[in-house]
Amino acid sequence: MAQQTTLDEWARDPLVDPEVRAHVYSLVNALGGNGEDGTYTLGDDALLCLKDLRKWLKFADAELGRRDAARCMAEAKLLQGDLLPILAKMSEKLMTQKLKYKVALAVLELLVPLTWPYEIDPLEPTENQINHAPYIQLAQIGYKRAILHFDRAQILNTVVKIALPPMAIPLRERGPRDEAIIRIALYFIRNVVMLSPPSSVPVDIDEAEVSRSTTIDTLHDQEIFPALLTVASNIGEDYVVQDVVILEVLFYLLKGIDAEKLFLDEKKLSSRNTDELKALMQKEKAMLADSARHAPTRHNRFGTMVWVKRDDEKVSTLSGQDFLGKAQKTMEKMDKTKKWNKPKGRSRKKNDEFDRDEFDLEVPLTTSAHKHLKSFVEEFLDSSFNPLFMHLRKAIEREEERIEERHSRQYFYLVAWFLKAECARRRNLKEKAADPKSAEILTAEDESYGLVAEVLNQATFILLNRFMQKSQDEKAWQDLNAGMKCFTQILFTVQEMSESALEEDQEIAENIQNRIFYEEATHDRIVQMLRSYKDQGFGYLDACTELAHVFLRMLERYAKQNVDLQIRSKRRARKMEAKRQGADSAGADVSDREEVENAQRTSTERKFDFDRYAHKFVNQSSVNTFMAFLKLHNELDAEQLKRIHRFLYRAVFKMKLGILLFRVDYIQLLHKLIKGPEGLDAALPSFKEWDEFVRHFFRTVVKKVQERPILYVEMLFSKINSTMFYLENGFDMAPPVRTPRAPAELEVKGDMTRQEQIGVAVGVLVNQNKSDALRWVREVLSSAIEERKAWQSMEEARREVAAAERQVEESGEEAPAEEPPKPPSILVRPDNDERRTAMFKDNKLRLLMTLVGCSRLGEPNDPEATWLIGSSVTVPELTEALDLIRKFEFEPPIYEDGKSAQDFLRSKATAIRRTARRVDFDDDSDGVDNDTEEDRGEYAPDGPTARKSTAKKILKRRRRARTPEELDDEEKRRRAEARLKRELEKQRNIKSTVFVHSSDDEDWDEDRDKEFFAKEQALRADTLAQFKRSLALGSPEPASKKRKGNVQAGSEKKKRKTPPKRRKGLFDTDESEDEDQPLHSSSRGSSPEAAALDTESDGESTDTPMSSQPAAVVTNGNKTPASVADKDTVMADAQDGTDDDDEDAAPTVRRAPLRTRGGFVIDSDSE
Q: For the chain, how many helices (H) and strands (E)?
A: 44, 15
The yes-or-no verdict on residue 392 having pLDDT over 90 is yes
- The rounded distance, in Å, linking the Cα atoms of 339 and 319 is 16
Q: Which stretches within 860-950 are classed as H helix?
A: 875-890, 908-916
- The rounded distance, in Å, linking the Cα atoms of 828 and 780 is 7
Single-letter residue type at 185: A
- The rounded distance, in Å, linking the Cα atoms of 505 and 447 is 9
Closest CA to 488 of 554, 407, 422, 394: 554
Q: Which residues pair with 519 in a beta bridge?
A: 568
Give the model's pLDDT for residue 998.
Answer: 45
CB count within 10 Å of CB 1156 equals: 12
Q: Which residues pair with 603 in a beta bridge?
A: 570
**Residue 519 CB partners (closer than 8 Å, separation 6+):** 465, 567, 568
Provide the 3-class DSSP secondary structure of residue 223.
coil
Which residue would you say has higher pLDDT here, 595 or 131?
131
Give the model's pLDDT for residue 1165.
Answer: 41
- The rounded distance, in Å, linking the Cα atoms of 190 and 763 is 81
Q: What is the CA radius of gyration of the chain?
A: 50
Question: Do residues 1070 and 1083 lie in contact, with contact meaning Cβ atoms separated by under 8 Å?
Answer: no
Give the model's pLDDT for residue 490.
Answer: 95
Single-letter residue type at 1033: L
Q: Which of 235-239, 851-855, 964-968 has the lowest mean pLDDT?
A: 964-968
**What proportion of the chain, given as a percentage, has pLDDT over 90?**
30
CB count within 10 Å of CB 310 equals: 9
Question: Do residues 467 and 438 lie in contact, with contact meaning Cβ atoms separated by under 8 Å?
Answer: no
The yes-or-no verdict on residue 147 having pLDDT over 90 is yes
Opening angle at CA 917, ends 914 and 918, nearest 5? 155
Question: Where does the pLDDT of residue 954 fall: very low under 50, low under 70, confident under 90, or very high at 90 and above?
Answer: low
Question: Do residues 700 and 659 lie in contact, with contact meaning Cβ atoms separated by under 8 Å?
Answer: no
Single-letter residue type at 309: K
Closest CA to 388 of 445, 454, 483, 337: 454
Distance of CA 630 to the CA centre of its chain: 35
CB count within 10 Å of CB 654 equals: 12
The yes-or-no verdict on residue 244 having pLDDT over 90 is yes
The yes-or-no verdict on residue 96 having pLDDT over 90 is no
Q: Tell me how far CA of residue 286 lies from CA of 291, 292, 294, 322, in angstroms.
A: 9, 10, 13, 18
Q: Tell me how far CA of residue 884 lies from CA of 221, 769, 956, in angstroms.
A: 105, 18, 57
- The rounded distance, in Å, linking the Cα atoms of 1167 and 1160 is 14
Provide the 3-class DSSP secondary structure of residue 906.
strand
Quick check: bond before 830 cis, omega within 30? Answer: no
Residue range 804-820: mean pLDDT, rounded: 60
The end-to-end CA distance of the chain, in Å, is 102
Residue range 917-921: mean pLDDT, rounded: 44
Single-letter residue type at 335: D
Closest CA to 69 of 7, 120, 19: 19
Backbone angles phi, psi at 204, to 5 degrees: -100, 15
| HSE-up of residue 855 (Cα within 13 Å, Cβ side) | 8
Question: Do residues 567 and 526 lie in contact, with contact meaning Cβ atoms separated by under 8 Å?
Answer: no
Distance of CA 203 to the CA centre of its chain: 51
Q: Exposed, middle or buried: residue 811 (CB in 10 Å: 0-12, 13-18, 19+)?
A: exposed
The yes-or-no verdict on residue 1095 having pLDDT over 80 is no
Give the model's pLDDT for residue 177.
Answer: 93
Provide the 3-class DSSP secondary structure of residue 407.
helix
For residue 130, the surrounding DSSP H or E stretch is helix 127-148
Question: Do residues 232 and 380 lie in contact, with contact meaning Cβ atoms separated by under 8 Å?
Answer: yes
Distance of CA 627 to the CA centre of its chain: 34
Q: Tell me how far CA of residue 108 lies from CA of 19, 156, 220, 775, in angstroms.
A: 26, 11, 21, 98
Biggest CA–CA distance in the chain, Å, is 167
Q: Tell me how far CA of residue 765 lies from CA of 580, 888, 1020, 1070, in angstroms.
A: 21, 11, 71, 65
Give one DSSP letter per residue of 1106-1127, joined into a string. Answer: PSSPPPPPEETTEEPPGGGGGS
Strongest mean pLDDT among 200-209, 771-780, 1042-1051? 771-780
Residue range 386-401: mean pLDDT, rounded: 94
For residue 828, the surrounding DSSP H or E stretch is strand 826-828
**Model confidence pLDDT, tens digit, residues 979-1037:** 877 777 766 655 444 444 444 444 555 666 777 888 888 888 888 888 777 665 554 44
Backbone angles phi, psi at 567, to 5 degrees: -125, 155
- The rounded distance, in Å, linking the Cα atoms of 563 and 561 is 6
Question: Where does the pLDDT of residue 442 fall: very low under 50, low under 70, confident under 90, or very high at 90 and above?
Answer: low
Which residue would you say has higher pLDDT here, 606 or 294?
606
Question: Do residues 604 and 571 lie in contact, with contact meaning Cβ atoms separated by under 8 Å?
Answer: yes
Q: Which stretches within 768-842 are classed as H helix?
A: 771-805, 833-841
Question: Do residues 702 and 754 lie in contact, with contact meaning Cβ atoms separated by under 8 Å?
Answer: no
Question: Where does the pLDDT of residue 1068 fall: very low under 50, low under 70, confident under 90, or very high at 90 and above?
Answer: very low
Task: Classify residue 455 by its DSSP letter.
Answer: G
- The rounded distance, in Å, linking the Cα atoms of 480 and 477 is 5
For residue 639, the surrounding DSSP H or E stretch is helix 638-649
| HSE-up of residue 763 (Cα within 13 Å, Cβ side) | 19
CB count within 10 Å of CB 633 equals: 19
Closest CA to 538 of 636, 436, 612: 636
- The rounded distance, in Å, linking the Cα atoms of 717 and 719 is 6
Give one DSSP letter per residue of 296-354, joined into a string. Answer: --SSS-S--EEEEE-TTS-EEEEESSTTTT-HHHHHHHHHHH----PPP--PPP--HHH
Backbone angles phi, psi at 866, to 5 degrees: -100, 140
Give the model's pLDDT for residue 583.
Answer: 39
Single-letter residue type at 258: D
Q: Tell me how far CA of residue 429 lies from CA of 418, 451, 801, in angstroms.
A: 16, 15, 112
Tell me the pLDDT of the chain averaged across its residues.
Answer: 76
Question: Do residues 406 and 357 lie in contact, with contact meaning Cβ atoms separated by under 8 Å?
Answer: yes
Residue range 335-340: mean pLDDT, rounded: 71
Distance of CA 333 to the CA centre of its chain: 57
Strongest mean pLDDT among 288-302, 484-498, 573-587, 810-824? 484-498
**Model confidence pLDDT, tens digit, residues 598-649:** 444 456 778 888 888 888 888 899 999 999 999 998 888 889 999 999 999 9
Question: Where does the pLDDT of residue 413 fall: very low under 50, low under 70, confident under 90, or very high at 90 and above?
Answer: very high
CA dihedral 225, 231, 234, 238 (to 10 degrees): 160
pTM of the prediction?
A: 0.67
